[in-house]
A and B are shown apart, each in its own frame.
Chain A
Amino acid sequence: MSTQSSRAAARLMLSPTVILLLIWMIVPLAMTLWFSFQRYNLLYPERSGWNDFANYTRFVASPAFMSAIANTLILVVGVLVITIVLGILIALLIDQPLWGQGAVRILTISPFFIMPPVAALIWKNMFMNPTNGLFAEASKFLGLSPYDFLGQAPLASIILIVAWQWLPFATLILLTALQSLSSEELEAAEMDGAPAIKRFWYIMLPHLARSITVVVLIQTIFLLGIFGEILVTTNGGPGTASTTLPYLIYKEALLDFDVGTAAAGGVVAVVLANIVAFFAMRAIGKNLEG
């Protein structure tokens, strides 16, 4: 049991780290906030000064803004659904005693070790390319005409690529949860004549609820910032079909060199991410209590 003086000493010792972390967060955030109210275009250094809310209205009124919001949400939800559903199925599969189980598990988690832009380039050039890709070759072999994935279904293609990368993470967390399930409970249900589907629905799935929550929260945080995969595959297009919020901010900052509007976009993204996080925590965070 800690005494008052030991608690004070702990606070004193922790304070440099806490202060450093706060500065680490507050300085960039404050600078972003400051620039978001400034007229600041790298190509026009002479046109600077206070700009009121013009950067915000410009960013939000941009025709690409609404599709960027929609695309970001579709991307997050799409990847979450795929990774959780497939993650559960794969976790169930590799939890079974099977020959070469260790090798299968390593292969299953290996996509997680590949850097995102590299993975995206491999998918773009080796699989989805409509003239030289593997899928095109398979289509031709079956007598079908090749499908132009990145031209016809750009957002779905990016969801597929990102889901492939995040599936190992979901699988790993869910597998760990499955392994912590008491086998006696399942055996008892089996002896009572409960079929496999009911054992899964009434015993396994409730047991996995907390892990699913962890997967949803962690993945949401990372998926809101997906950028590299879009840059190397579709460049946000065709049109704005695969433009997400981070890509739109990148476009403002490094294609238009409009730092003011990009900073305003950054602030909008932080606010929206916090709204999403708030609702996500309220909706599913209860699973983490107790």
Chain B
Amino acid sequence: MTLTLRALLGATVSLTLAGAAMAETTITVATVNNGDMIRMQGLMDDFYAKHPDIKVEWVTLEENVLRQNVTTDIATNGGQYDVLTIGTYEVPIWGKQGWLASLNDLPADYDVDDLLPAIRGGLTVDGNLMASPFYGESSMVMYRTDLMEAAGLTMPDAPTWADIEAAAAAMTNKDGEVYGICLRGKAGWGENMAFLTAMSNSFGARWFDEAWKPQFDSPEWKATLDTYLRLMTEYGPPGASNNGFNENLTLFQQGKCGMWIDATVAASFVTGADSTVADKVGFALAPDNGLGKRGNWLWAWSLAIPASSTKQDAAKTFINWATNKDYLALVASKEGWANVPPGTRTSLYANPEYAAIPFAKMTIDSINSADPNAPTVQPVPYVGVQFVAIPEFQGLGTSVGQEFSAALAGQKTADEALAAAQALVTDEMTAAGYIQ
């Protein structure tokens, strides 16, 4: 073989290899239609500039639809998605099923030790990181400083439920369409039950005792529901049994709520351009009853890779881009620090520019005060603050949520709702084999 021929052959092989290396990989990302995720889609030019060989296709869905879609896809091995947006509820369950790929081998610049310990713990299964947090949240009290001042009251940084009730009574002016307190009432395990389960922790209640026996017949749950119904009936807006996160956000932005206890991510919306009360909002930790637990939750929308995905390398590259420190800096440079996805990294809260934002400290304090492994006063056999991390909880939480929503609508008494909840949870847990 002549030298020229060899050179030609070599060049052909190199070109073929280079062509294969440059071949475009398309990954499909399923995500939720929340503001931070929509913002990420607007910043994709940065990703494509760094990774021209990866193309990302988005499937953006409303939370409940997303959950139904990704659950059916992963459970039936449908293979529709390469990256899933899931929460701290799904990660431990799906991780145990072997449905998720481990993210232990992300590059060093990902800096896994920088993740907030509470969030990282919620996303780790048997020592393996199964999902990377995109944003994390707890819940806290958002209140109108002007109404508190007019009532001659001061909101403590760490209020009790008694403080909240006194403030709600003082701020309510139903004729003027100002309601002292707005809380979730719409049925759903991620709607009213997220709030009520977190609230019940501060009253010393729990879903199950250590033998998985439901506890809705306990005095602690009775106290929780009575307080909730009293607050909402006397000081809440009409039609509260249909109000979820979005409805309450609108009411607060319109200036119709004196207080709202909900997700910390709402802080940037109630102080943003859409809010008529943006400059009159104060923040406090979720209330307690002096029992050592506060009524706040812990959640993280996170990115994970189905174990069945054939494009795991490209998917990991994308997750690294979307959830590392550089992404936070990218959002800050384009949209300002207040719009950076919160609640995932220690370094963000050490940044003086971010610390200057009014809700930054209360957000991190709230996240740090929630412990998914010991959510309530008494010991429990489950993990999760505002949920119970067992597969049955989605159905159970929604059914119990319907009972409590009926109590809020006045169609049942608190006792009837609690008795119905106890009966239906006992039935389901017996059928599922938790109770022998």
Interface residues of A (CB under 8 A from B): 41-45, 58, 63, 124, 129-132, 136, 145-146, 148, 150-152, 234-241, 251, 254-258
Contacts of A148 in B (CB 8 A): 238-239, 241-242, 409
30 contacts between A and B (CB under 8 A): A43-B71, A43-B75, A44-B391, A45-B75, A45-B97, A63-B420, A63-B424, A131-B237, A148-B239, A148-B242, A150-B239, A150-B242, A151-B240, A151-B410, A152-B409, A235-B188, A237-B241, A237-B405, A238-B187, A238-B408, A238-B411, A239-B405, A241-B409, A241-B411, A255-B68, A255-B394, A255-B398, A256-B394, A257-B395, A258-B395
A42 and B395 alpha carbons, distance in the complex (Å): 13
Alpha-carbon gap, A254 to B398, bound state (A) = 12
Do the beta carbons of A238 and B402 come within 8 Å of each other?
Answer: yes
Write the chain A residue with the least CB distance to B401: A237
Rounded to whole Å, the gap between the CB of A258 and the closest CB of chain B is 7
* Contact with A238, one of B93, B251, B405 (Cβ below 8 angstroms): B405
Residue on A nearest B391 in the bound complex, by CB = A43
A257 near B409 with CB under 8 A, answer no
Q: For B406, what are the chain A residues with a Cβ–Cβ distance below 8 Å?
A: 237-239, 241
User: Which of A41, A124, A146, A239 is within 8 Å of B238, CB to CB?
Assistant: A146
Q: With a CB–CB cut-off of 8 A, which chain A residues contact B394?
A: 255-257
Q: Is B431 interfacial (CB-CB < 8 Å)?
A: yes
**Are the CB atoms of B239 and A131 closer together than 8 Å?**
yes
Contact residues, B92-124 vs A (CB, 8 A) = 93, 97
Tell me if B137 counts as interface (CB < 8 A to partner A): no
Among residues of B, the one whose C-beta sits closest to the C-beta of A256 is B395
Q: In the complex, which range does the number of interface residues on chain B fall in? A: 35 or more
The answer to whether A237 touches B431, judged by C-beta atoms less than 8 angstroms apart, is: no
Do A42 and B412 touch (CB < 8 A)? no
Residue contact B68 to A254, C-beta cutoff 8 Å: yes
Residues of B within 8 A of A241 (CB): 406, 409, 411
A88 to B: closest C-beta gap in Å: 34
A85 to B153, CA, bound (A): 58
Within 8 Å by CB of A237, from B93, B250, B392, B402, lies: B402
Partner of A257, one of B75, B239, B240, B410: B75
A255–B250 alpha-carbon span in the complex (Å):
27
Q: Is B256 an interface residue (CB 8 A)?
A: yes
Which residues of A are found within 8 Å of B14, using beta-carbon distances? none
B351 interface hit (Cβ, 8 Å): no
In the assembled complex, the Cα of A254 lies from the Cα of B424 at a distance in Å of 19
Are B251 and A131 interface neighbours, CB within 8 A?
Answer: yes
A179 shortest CB reach to chain B, Å? 43
Q: Which 4 A-B pairs have the closest CB atoms?
A: A239-B406, A256-B395, A130-B239, A43-B391
Q: Which residues of A contact B2 (CB under 8 A)?
A: none
Contacts of B288 in A (CB 8 A): none
B75/A151 in contact, CB under 8 A: no
B186 in the interface, Cβ–Cβ < 8 Å? Answer: yes
| A151: B residues at CB distance < 8 A | 238-242, 408-410
Mark each residue of chain B from 259 to 302: 1 if its CB lies under 8 Å from any CB of chain A, else 0.
Answer: 00000000000000000000000000000000000000000000
Contact partners of B423 in chain A: CB under 8 A:
63
B82 at the interface (CB under 8 A from A): no
Whether A251 contacts B241 in the complex (CB less than 8 A), given A42-B75, A58-B431, comes out as no
Q: How far is the CA of A239 from the CA of B424 in the complex (A)?
A: 12
Q: Tell me if B403 counts as interface (CB < 8 A to partner A).
A: yes
Give the CA-CA distance A132 to B242 in the complex, in Å. 13
Minimum CB–CB distance for A152 against chain B, Å: 7
Question: B177 is contacted by which of A41, A131, A234 (Cβ under 8 Å)?
Answer: A131
Q: Identify which of residues 347-404 in chain B touch chain A, using a CB-to-CB cut-off of 8 Å.
A: 391-392, 394-395, 398, 402-403
- B93 / chain A contacts, CB cutoff of 8 Å: 43
B391 partner residues in chain A, CB cutoff 8 A = 41, 43-44, 257
Interface residue B72 (Cβ < 8 Å from any Cβ of A): yes
Report the separation of the CA atoms of residues A152 and B241 in the bound assembly, to the nearest whole angstrom.
9
10 further interface pairs, Cβ-Cβ under 8 Å (given A42-B76, A44-B391):
A63-B424, A130-B237, A151-B238, A152-B410, A237-B406, A238-B406, A238-B409, A241-B406, A241-B411, A256-B394
